[in-house]
């Protein structure tokens, strides 16, 4: 039970999805479009399946139930269920404007945890934009009025994005992914979403999708911030910190051709590698070897003490995530 595990992701065909996950990232499916690939998932609406090693074919959730807290690490084991959900999201069309509640609100109202998350922009079509927070201070009364008048987009902060942009989205922040965006999303394991505005679209049943304005009014954090981009300095062949919060820590590893060894002896957490470009061979301290390429994910159990990452000749770009 100490070996790295490649994962097969459940796929979602939401109405706004595109074809890049299928056509460019190797997701095998008969779906005509793929909106989301749940790269790491132990959620009731989608579960990763182990694709390598002695547990191949088993869901990650079932394996973790057998492996116990030792495989998760102390911090992760504090949560009543696996704490992280990691997605690749292909937005061919606009996603709804939405907000996720805090833990306190979600546990009280929904019976599950809230959602803090981050975005890493993997690809962006010309003019693609993300929305995060408000463009100026507003209060609940103005928010309610603008939703009723369908003018809420006028007060959302719009960011035209390019690959490598990072956004941190604590619970309570209004946000949306615009058409043309392709992002990696790292979040708490929760799917509690309050939809605020959906461009008057209709779903497969021919009806407009449900909005959750009353809940959103209570869940939104109206604090104004001038800029919601997460600053960082890109570097090759280095561990670059993107986000550190109580729910996850995420690093960017942009490898050229040089091997990198990561020491996890004192970490006490599982580690996830999501490959966004190129490919890499992982060799752990017990000699297990796994190879992942663009659009693939591997989990290292918390018992892993060390891993060496050897990039392909064209390099590798990875997101490294754990709980610290």
Residues marked active site are found at 195
Which two tokens mark 58?
A: 């088993």
Give one DSSP letter per residue of 179-244, joined into a string.
Answer: TTEEEEEEEES----EEEE-TT-B-TTSSBPPP-HHHHHHH------S--B------BTSEEEEEE
Q: What are phi and psi of 142, to 5 degrees?
A: -65, -40
Bridge partners of 88?
37, 184
Bridge partners of 12?
36
Q: Does residue 79 sit in helix, strand or coil?
A: coil
Scan for tokens 């109405």, then name that residue. 15
- Quick one: CA dihedral 56, 62, 66, 67, positive or negative? positive
Cβ neighbours around 252 below 10 Å, total: 21
Which two tokens mark 273?
A: 């590698």
Q: How far is it, in rounded angstroms, from Cα 219 to Cα 89? A: 24
């Amino acid at each position: 039970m100490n070996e790295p595990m490649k994962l097969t992701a459940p796929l979602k065909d939401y109405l706004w999805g595109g074809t890049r996950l299928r056509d460019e990232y190797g997701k095998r499916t008969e779906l005509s479009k793929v909106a989301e690939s749940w790269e790491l998932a132990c959620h009731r609406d989608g579960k990763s399946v182990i694709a390598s090693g002695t547990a191949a074919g088993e869901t990650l959730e079932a394996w973790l139930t057998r492996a116990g807290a030792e495989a998760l690490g102390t911090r992760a084991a504090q949560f009543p269920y696996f704490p992280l959900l990691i997605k690749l999201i292909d937005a061919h069309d606009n996603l709804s404007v939405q907000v996720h509640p805090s833990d306190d609100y979600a546990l009280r109202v929904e019976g599950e945890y809230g959602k803090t998350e981050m975005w890493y922009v993997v690809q962006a079509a010309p003019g693609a934009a993300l929305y995060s927070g408000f463009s100026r201070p507003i209060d609940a009364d103005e928010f309610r009025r603008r939703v009723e008048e369908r003018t809420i987009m006028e007060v959302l902060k719009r960011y035209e994005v390019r690959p490598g942009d990072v956004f941190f989205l604590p619970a309570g922040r209004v946000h949306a992914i615009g058409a043309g965006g392709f992002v990696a999303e790292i979040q708490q394991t929760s799917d509690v979403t309050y939809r605020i505005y959906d461009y008057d679209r209709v779903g497969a049943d021919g009806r407009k999708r449900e909005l959750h304005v009353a809940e959103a009014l209570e869940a939104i954090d109206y604090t104004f911030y001038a800029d919601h981009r997460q600053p960082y300095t890109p570097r090759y062949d280095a561990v670059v910190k993107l986000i550190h919060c109580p729910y996850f820590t995420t690093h960017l590893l942009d490898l050229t051709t040089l091997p990198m060894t990561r020491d996890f002896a004192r970490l006490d957490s599982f580690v996830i590698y999501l490959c966004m470009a190129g490919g890499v061979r992982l060799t752990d301290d017990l000699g297990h070897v796994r190879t992942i390429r663009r659009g693939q994910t591997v989990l290292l159990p918390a018992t892993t003490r060390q891993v060496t990452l050897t990039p392909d000749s064209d390099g590798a770009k990875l997101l490294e995530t754990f709980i610290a």
